[in-house]
Amino acid sequence: MSEQFSDFGERLCGGSGIEELMEDLGNAMAKGGPDIRMLGGGQPAHIPEVNALWRRRMEEIMSDDGAFEKMLANYDPPRGNPHFLEALAELFRSHLGWDVTAKNMAITSGGQTAFFFLFNALAGKFKDGGTKKILLPLVPEYIGYSNQSVGSDIFRAVKPCIEKIGEHDFKYRVDFENLHVGEDVAAICVSRPTNPTGNVLTDREISKLAKLASDRGIPLIIDNAYGAPFPNIIFTEATPVWDENIVLTLSLSKIGLPGTRTGIVVAREEIAAAVSSMSAIIGLANGNIGQTIMEPLVSSGEILKLSNEVVQPYYIQKSKQARQWVDEAFNRTLPYRVHLSEGALFLWLWFEDLPISSKELYERLKARGVLIVSGHYFFFGLDDSEPWRHRDECIRMTFTMDEHTVKDGIRIIAEEVAAAYEVLKS
């Protein structure tokens, strides 16, 4: 007998792109052998200096009488550990000049949970019978947002302007001429750096979006999972911004603690309090481990040194190396373009006029032991009645794994793409 789910259940229990991605990632990390080339997930690299720091912190916690037991055996308040929240507020005040206190903060069980809370609190159906949506001013956008509505679809997206650069590069830019913020928009949302493309919206683009949101009296939500001040996986100029009309989310995942599931929301007090209430209802409290590990590093500012001197340079080198391997594998002869790698952990590859869909390319690569993510998942919120071939011509691959995995995976991607184009020629 098939299970009967509610409308809410149908939306969340029926599979999704993010579930497919995490299934591939989790199984590859847990069971994958030497023949699995995991290029699909957002798994941060195991940076030796960073791992050494986590070991040092665990040793300090273990040697501090009662600290280990408190970390594992006590509930924190739903908003988060008060000492951690105070340390974050002081860091943002002293280093960025933001006018924040602990009341502007709320911890969630990872950044993904933060967006589930925010999207469903701000958008959807209202008591007056109206419906409001989240506006995505630039797609492709993060795959993890797409299935998060508890009701009907809550996203409306705008196609980007595509700027071709040289023979093999390109960049998405916000199409402000076609960006309409209507009465039905509850909030504007962007990721910076953008997952999946590594795009970093310029300070000017962010300023214009912030003004559009402010003029309409709605928040601008900025997903800062890869951004500054930490983990600062940004390879270009980008000024961190916050004010009371901006909801900023951060995470401890990409600095190297994805297993602790620690998300951070910085918002005006009413929104931070609402997130805290949702945490209490849905999960009682959040995990203590990430906050306990990180609190003295935030208090001392060591988290900034770690981000700027270890994490950022590491990923800059990984990005440049991966791009070099792409150019070598594709011999600069196939019709490929790579989005400018300005941050995050991915390369976004575009194969113009690809004879097969990116989903079929994913299946072919998976059969050869290479796991990537089909680009079509990241183009949600658009009007499906308007075909756009570009959606099915892109893939996302990560460059965080070891050199052999990344280089060999790129080689196999090039072979499968070349084979697809050969069919077209014949």
pLDDT in tens, 238-289: 999 999 999 999 999 999 999 999 999 999 999 999 999 999 999 999 999 9
Task: Identify which of 168, 160, 123 has the alpha carbon closest to the alpha carbon of residue 329.
Answer: 168
Structure tokens at 230: 């930490």
- Looking at residue 159, the DSSP 8-state letter turns out to be P
Nearest C-alpha neighbor of 202 from the set 133, 137, 255? 137
Task: Write out the H or E segment, with its range, that includes residue 416.
Answer: helix 403-425
Per-residue CA distances from 353 to 326, 357, 376, 389, 393 (Å): 19, 10, 14, 8, 7
Are 375 and 394 in contact, with CB atoms under 8 Å apart? yes
Residue pair 341/319 in contact by the 8 Å Cβ criterion: yes
Query: Percent of the chain, pLDDT > 90?
Result: 84
Residue 151 binned pLDDT confidence (cut-offs 50, 70, 90): confident
Which pLDDT value is given to residue 387?
Answer: 84
CATH of 7-50+306-425, one of 3.30.70.100, 3.40.220.10, 3.90.1150.10, 3.30.460.20: 3.90.1150.10
Q: For residue 135, what are the β-bridge partners?
A: 156, 188
Is the full-model pTM beyond 0.85? yes
Give me the CATH code for the 75-301 domain, please. Answer: 3.40.640.10
> What's the pLDDT at 422?
83
Q: Do domains 7-50+306-425 and 75-301 have the same CATH topology?
A: no
Are the CB atoms for 171 and 252 separated by under 8 Å? no
Q: Which pLDDT band, with edges at 50, 70 and 90, does 356 fall under?
A: very high
User: Cα(first)–Cα(last) distance of the chain, in Å?
Assistant: 49
Report pLDDT digits (tens) over 76-125: 999 999 999 999 999 999 999 999 999 999 999 999 999 999 999 999 99
- Comparing CA positions, the residue from 406, 408, 407, 390 lying closest to residue 398 is 406
- Every domain of the chain and the residues it spans: 7-50+306-425, 75-301
Residue 20 has pLDDT above 80, yes or no: no
Dist CA 235 CA 341 (whole Å): 8
